[in-house]
Structure 1
Amino acid sequence: MKVHILDDWFDTLKTLPSFARLEGHDVTIWTDHTEDLDVLAERLADADCVVLFRERTPVTAALLERLPNLKLISQRSVYPHVDVPACTANGVMLCSNMSAGKPSIAASELTFALILASARQIPQQMQSLRAGTWQLAPGQTLMGRRLGLYGYGKIGGQVARYAEAFGMKVWWWGSDEGRDRAHAAGAEVAPSREAFFAQSDFVSIHVRLTPATRGLISAEDLLAMKPSATFVNTSRSGLVADGALEAALEAARPGRLALDVFDPEPFTDTSDPVISHPNVICTPHIGYVTEDELDMQFADIYDQINAYADGAPIHVINPEVQ
């Protein structure tokens, strides 16, 4: 099959062990990013299969209609960037491994790294040192502080294990079903949503973005947090209501934000009032961007390609296409 891989910005994938799974296929890797319809249609004109690098490039009906040779889109995890009905209408199968069975260790590690960096003001202390002004004000010790995890799932569970190793007190909030699962597992659940935000020293959200969860975290939630607290988001920017981060920074409640996700992405506005604020630690959506994580994720993606080529597709999202 003629396989085109989009958005491998650092030309990483061919250096990973999993790339050997594409042996026998004609592979083209694009290392830049474009959403120009004409450019994409020209690049992918001969593609039998397109591999998506997470949600970096939207796949629209207008694009699909210009790719008559395309048979398969292979990717991993959620697919809000893919027009599934248009895929079906154009005879394109979408395969995406939705339940890989284990948490993203990379995303979990980054979440806890942001908690540590915020508690000890690591970026700000570095800047102070380089400016010749030596130390800033004291930071926070994690032991004994309360971490609130919103969303009782795999990544949140991994973050909880890191936090407990540091002696933090972990409690949970989330949907009714998620709180029921936390209770059943013997985990501590906050007595109310209000208490969860007001009494946590750190709040980290681990929820999938869907139409139902968009804007899940409100300005009221953030403004209920302590001035000494930190809000962490390594999930999706859209989980936080529009304007809520700006309101929080203006009120200094919570006092700090630690963010890995933005809207839109790539986010390049250096004058944005959130990313330019001194009390914000921000990283460019690198939660999943480690060699180990990419190797695991793309092994799944390549397995889907080989299964399709063998006539036995797996993880099919639109089975109407056969």
Structure 2
Amino acid sequence: MRIAILDDYSDTLRTLPCFTKLAGHDVTVFTDHVQDAGALAERLRDIEALVLIRERTRIEAALLERLPGLRLISQFGGYPHIDVAACTRHGVVVSSELSGGGTSHGTAELTWGLLIAAARRIPQQMASLRAGGWQESVGTTLHGKTLGILGYGRIGTAVAGYATAFGLRVVVWSGEESRRRAAADGHAVAESQRALFAGSDAVSLHVKLTDATRGIVTAADLAAMAPSAILVNTSRAGLIEPGALPAALRAGRPGVAAVDVFDAEPLHDPQDPLLSLDNVVATPHIGYVTREDYERQFASAFEQIVAFAGGEPINVVNPEVLAMRQ
């Protein structure tokens, strides 16, 4: 099959052990980001299978209409960036591993990296040192503080485990079943989402972005946080009400944000409202960008291609397409 891999910014996938699964196929790797439908259609005009790196490129009807040879889209994880209905109309199978693959420890670890960096003002201390200065401020000790976790899935659970090791009290707000599991794990459960934000020294977001969760964190939630509190978001920027986080940070509640995700990605604007604030620690959506997480996720994506090529598609999101082909 003629296969294209999009948005491999660091040209990493071909160096992974799992890349050998595609041996015998004609594979093209693109390391830049293109969203324009016309430009994408030009570079993908002869492609039969498309491999996506999470949500970096949106796959919409306008693009699919120009790719009559496309037969398969393969990826790992959720697919809010894919117009599945349009894929079905155009006879394109969407395969995505959703339930397996384990926890993204890379994202859980980055959550703690960002939290510690924000609490100890590591970026500011580095900037001072590089400018010829010395200690520029006094940081905050996390031990003994309360960490609020919004969303107690695989990553939220891992973050809670790290919190216990660091000596923090964990409070959770999540779906009913997840709240029961958090309590069984020995963590406190908040009375409400608002109470979680109001009563935590730091709040970390670990909720999947869906139509139901978009904007779930409101300006009122952020305003309930203490001026000394830290908000950490390694999940998705769309979980927060549009414009609410920069406004809240300018108002001083919370006092600091540590983020790995943005409304528009890739973000190349240094004047972005979040990047222009001194009380923000930011990274360019690198939570899952580790060799270990890549190997786990793309082993799945490549296995889906092998299965499709062998006539036995797996992890099919839109099985109606298979029925149409029979």
Give the alignment's TM-score, normalised by structure 1.
Answer: 0.97
Structure 1 stretch displaced more, 131-140 or 223-232: 131-140
Call closer, same or farther: CA 1:66–1:257 in 2, change over 3 Å: same
- The offset of 1:36, in angstroms, is 2.1
Retained in 1: the 8 A contact 2:203–2:231? yes
Alignment of 1:1-322 (within 5 A): 1-322=1-322
| Distance in 2 separating the partners of 1:259 and 1:192 | 23
Any stretches of 5+ residues in structure 2 without a counterpart?
none
| Distance in 1 separating the partners of 2:202 and 2:195 | 13
- The offset of 1:140, in angstroms, is 1.2
Q: Which amino acid is the alignment partner of residue 193 of structure 2?
A: R
Per-residue displacement from partner, 1:95-128 (whole Å, max 9, x unpaired)? 0001125110111010010011111110011111
Q: Which amino acid is the alignment partner of residue 138 of structure 1?
A: V
- The offset of 1:64, in angstroms, is 0.9
| Distance in 1 separating the partners of 2:217 and 2:288 | 22
- The offset of 1:7, in angstroms, is 1.1
| Distance in 1 separating the partners of 2:185 and 2:215 | 28
| Distance in 2 separating the partners of 1:41 and 1:140 | 51
Structure 1 stretch displaced more, 276-285 or 99-108: 99-108
- The offset of 1:287, in angstroms, is 0.6
Q: Helix, strand or coil: the match of 2:113? A: helix
- The offset of 1:184, in angstroms, is 4.3
| Distance in 1 separating the partners of 2:185 and 2:123 | 37
Q: Helix, strand or coil: the match of 1:3? A: strand
Per-residue displacement from partner, 1:39-66 (whole Å, max 9, x unpaired)? 2112111111011111111111111111
Per-residue displacement from partner, 1:276-315 (whole Å, max 9, x unpaired)? 1111001111111111111111100000001111111110
Q: Which amino acid is the alignment partner of residue 187 of structure 2?
A: A
| Distance in 1 separating the partners of 2:17 and 2:101 | 21
Identity value in percent: 57
Retained in 1: the 8 A contact 2:101–2:297? no
Structure 1 stretch displaced more, 115-124 or 240-249: 240-249
Call closer, same or farther: CA 1:8–1:237 in 2, change over 3 Å: same
- The offset of 1:92, in angstroms, is 0.5
Q: Helix, strand or coil: the match of 2:148? A: strand
Q: Which amino acid is the alignment partner of residue 77 of structure 2?
A: S
Retained in 1: the 8 A contact 2:150–2:172? yes
| Distance in 2 separating the partners of 1:129 and 1:214 | 40
| Distance in 1 separating the partners of 2:25 and 2:193 | 51
- The offset of 1:191, in angstroms, is 2.9
| Distance in 2 separating the partners of 1:231 and 1:97 | 30
Retained in 1: the 8 A contact 2:229–2:256? yes
- The offset of 1:80, in angstroms, is 1.0
| Distance in 2 separating the partners of 1:187 and 1:146 | 11
Q: Helix, strand or coil: the match of 1:321? A: helix
Give the alignment's TM-score, normalised by structure 2.
Answer: 0.96
